[in-house]
Amino acid sequence: MKPIRLLIVDDQPLVRQGLRAVFAPLVDIAILGEASNGAEALELVRRTAPDVVLMDVNMPRMSGLEATRRIFSGGPRDSAPKIVMLTMYDQDEYVFEALRAGASGFLIKDSSPAQLAEAVREVTDGGALLSPSVTRRLIREFVRRPAVPSAAAAELQSLTGRELDVFRLLVQGYGNAMIAEKLTLGESTIKSHVQHLYRKLGVQDRVQVVIYAYENGLV
């Protein structure tokens, strides 16, 4: 199996050095390079085609949020790298902006080396990973929002009956193995259904499926 191709983006040399020390010993993750701002990150993404980008939120010249927006506006989402945002803070505006921009994960910089490695592997496999405090506030934010009429009829009508079943279970937080058990299907079949509905809904991972459902009044 090929190693996960990783790009590290942070404006602080010591942070980049620390991240490199975390990932360098891992045989399943290969560091392609480093960037110190969003503009450099865009150029490196174009030249190296990484699988995952660890992206700092606040950087000079171009922020990580703006770089993430540009990465996902430049072509199909399924050909773009997965983005895991890193920050010293877990402020709400950063969380929601990053997820809407296309990020698949959001971690605080004091996360453990194991959590960082888990995040890279998880998003590569089509999942998403948020720090616990981010997850709690994301849920609170959506719970207090009033329901709105669904504007997602066209996308949902494009889903097959089985994809709708998978969609409902994804929104409830079930992983592939549990969905397979509930629908009495193989896990590889569920993974295929998940990828199909991602493409049809124009989302990249499970977090964005939940956001899609709540923002369109489907939950």
- Per-residue pLDDT reduced to its tens digit, 157-196: 788 889 989 988 887 767 788 888 999 999 889 989 988 8
Domain ranges of the chain: 4-140, 147-215
Q: Residue for token digits 């506030």?
A: 137
Cα 165 to Cα 181: distance, rounded to the nearest angstrom = 13
Q: Band of the pLDDT at 21, cuts 50, 70, 90?
A: very high
Determine what percent of the chain is predicted with pLDDT higher than 90: 34
4-140, superfamily in CATH? Response regulator (3.40.50.2300)
pTM for the model: 0.69
Q: 86 pLDDT exceeds 80? A: yes
Q: Helix (H, G, I), strand (E, B), or coil: what is residue 6?
A: strand
The answer to whether residues 23 and 31 touch, using CB atoms and an 8 Å cutoff, is yes
Q: How many alpha carbons fall within 13 Å on the CB side of residue 57?
A: 22
The correct CATH number of 147-215 out of 3.20.20.70, 3.40.50.2000, 1.10.10.10, 3.30.1490.100 is 1.10.10.10
